[in-house]
Amino acid sequence: MKDELDKILISYKEPDFDEELEKLFVSKLHATCFRDDTNRDKVKDIVEDVSKRRDEAVAEYTEKFDAVKLTPKEFRVSKKELEQAHQDVDTRLVSSIRESIENVRRYQKEIFIGNKTHPGIRYTPIERIGICVPGASAPLPSTVIMTAVPAQVAGVKEIAVVSPPRFNGSIHPTILAVCHELRINEVYRIGGAQAVAALAFGDNRSGRIKVDKIVGPGNTWVQMAKREVFGVVDIDSIAGTSEVLIIADDRANPTWVAADMLSQVEHAPGSAILFTDSQQLAEKALTALKAQLNRLDRAEQTTKCLRNLGGIFVFESMQDIIQSANDFASEHLEIQCGDESTEIAHNIENAGAIFIGDYSPVAVGDYWAGPSHTLPTGQTAKFFSALTSNDFIKSISIIEYDKAKLAASADDIIRLAEVEGLDAHAKSIKIRLQG
């Protein structure tokens, strides 16, 4: 195990440093769901089938992929089940959930632009959205909070949640409890590509499931299905492997750095990268990784994930690190460089979220701080952003001219229309000014 992990530490002094760095950028993380065509035809077939046969097809795929037989009437979780799940959850957990919701709600309200007024534009919320919640072995209530709360702040009236029936043939009670806490009563025990297709095309037999926008994480099949239905509905983004990039110097605590790397790798798959200008920190962090790995129940699987999607890179200078970090455009970027952390953060142009200082691990953002943890992956932070309340509104342009204002602009408008050969456009202006 130790010899295998030693290979992830690479210094700029080694001849293959640039080659290994390129592999990190291209081979390891660049193959996101945008470019993964391995099962694309299968996903397209599922989406097409659901678009035609609706609930009947969803039921068949649920039985095939989740080994749960449901009739369309059984897709939707009842109000009684939601209430019971909320009643049964630990009261201390409810308290933590409520505080997390409040933190997210407060932050999303502060950054919301939909309340701003201007005579040339009007913002309106999207009417219905769908949220995909993964059905992992452990519940993911934070996914509901980080997607639903921004939508509620934006004024979305109706929210539908889908999650595969992986917990005793249904959805984990903790997820249901969070939905009830947020007053979301449209929850469906379906998942995968078939659930995405159902959100896009809907079926009256199972309730009003068709939505206008789909958000939330999921496996490759879910992400590829979102790609297929984009245009029929809007989507947030297409996400790949979750990742953290840590920028640290010799002032960082190597034990904490290792812990933060492992916290991301445990997603399995998850990626954890360390960029540093300190050989000593790199070696100490590697030693700490090995020590902490030995205390994990899934050490073998985590080690494999580190080897395939991890790395410790020693650069010649912090300037080189910043340049590579901007090229890398990580989903999560931690900066642990003492009192220079904030200054370094100001030089980062591409990242989903930046965590500044020794006491800001990714987990703070995942559950508590306020920004949504739904973030761009696979270098897409160069053009995608974190999910916010502003992603759930649309703008309507408002144009209102009177006769005098039209007359003042008429010659220019006519000239532009005629150069494009659009005679009727030009005449629609002329006819108003004749006589």
pLDDT digits (tens, 9 = 90+) for 256-295: 999 999 999 887 788 999 999 999 999 999 999 999 988 8
Q: CB burial class (10 A; 0-12, 13-18, 19+) of residue 274?
A: buried
Q: Is residue 395 part of a domain?
A: no
Task: For residue 203, name the pLDDT band (cuts at 50, 70, 90).
Answer: confident
Q: Is residue 306 part of a domain?
A: yes
Please check whether residues 203 and 277 belong to one and the same domain. Answer: no
Please check whether residues 250 and 219 belong to one and the same domain. Answer: no
Q: Is residue 382 part of a domain?
A: no
Please check whether residues 118 and 256 belong to one and the same domain. Answer: no
What is the residue-averaged pLDDT of the chain?
A: 93
Give SS3 for 412: helix
pLDDT digits (tens, 9 = 90+) for 174-192: 999 999 999 999 999 999 9
Average pLDDT over residues 390-397: 97
Question: Does residue 109 have a pLDDT over 80?
Answer: yes
Considering 213, 235, 257, which residue would you say is the last residue of a domain?
235
pLDDT digits (tens, 9 = 90+) for 143-158: 999 999 999 999 999 9
Please check whether residues 202 and 270 belong to one and the same domain. Answer: no
Find the largest Cα–Cα distance for the chain.
89
Please check whether residues 82 and 183 belong to one and the same domain. Answer: yes
Gap between the Cα atoms of 15 and 289, Å rounded: 25
Considering 235, 269, 289, which residue would you say is the last residue of a domain?
235
Query: How many domains are contained in the chain?
Result: 3
Please check whether residues 219 and 244 belong to one and the same domain. Answer: no
pLDDT digits (tens, 9 = 90+) for 2-30: 467 888 999 999 999 999 898 888 755 55
pLDDT at 36: 62
Question: What is the pairing mode between strands 332-336 and 353-356?
Answer: parallel
Please check whether residues 79 and 169 belong to one and the same domain. Answer: yes
Question: What is the pairing mode between strands 242-248 and 234-235?
Answer: unpaired
Please check whether residues 248 and 361 belong to one and the same domain. Answer: yes
Residues above pLDDT 90, as percent of the chain: 81
Please check whether residues 72 and 198 belong to one and the same domain. Answer: yes
Please check whether residues 227 and 244 belong to one and the same domain. Answer: no
Please check whether residues 139 and 283 belong to one and the same domain. Answer: no
**Pick from 37-46, 310-319, 403-412: least confident:** 37-46
Q: How many helices (H) and strands (E) does the chain have?
A: 18, 13
Q: Is residue 288 part of a domain?
A: yes
pLDDT digits (tens, 9 = 90+) for 113-142: 999 889 999 999 999 999 999 987 678 899
pLDDT digits (tens, 9 = 90+) for 288-343: 999 998 888 778 888 888 888 899 999 999 999 999 999 999 999 999 999 999 99
pLDDT at 2: 47
pLDDT at 296: 83
Q: Is residue 396 part of a domain?
A: no
Strand ranges inside 194-256, DSSP E: 213-215, 234-235, 242-248
Q: Is residue 376 part of a domain?
A: no
Omega before 269 cis (within 30°)? Answer: yes
Gap between the Cα atoms of 127 and 109, Å rounded: 18
Question: Does residue 34 have a pLDDT over 80?
Answer: no
Average pLDDT over residues 210-225: 94
Catalytic residues: 331-332
* Domain containing residue 148: 40-235
CATH number at residue 264: 3.40.50.1980
Q: Is residue 384 part of a domain?
A: no
Considering 176, 206, 235, which residue would you say is the last residue of a domain?
235
Please check whether residues 192 and 274 belong to one and the same domain. Answer: no
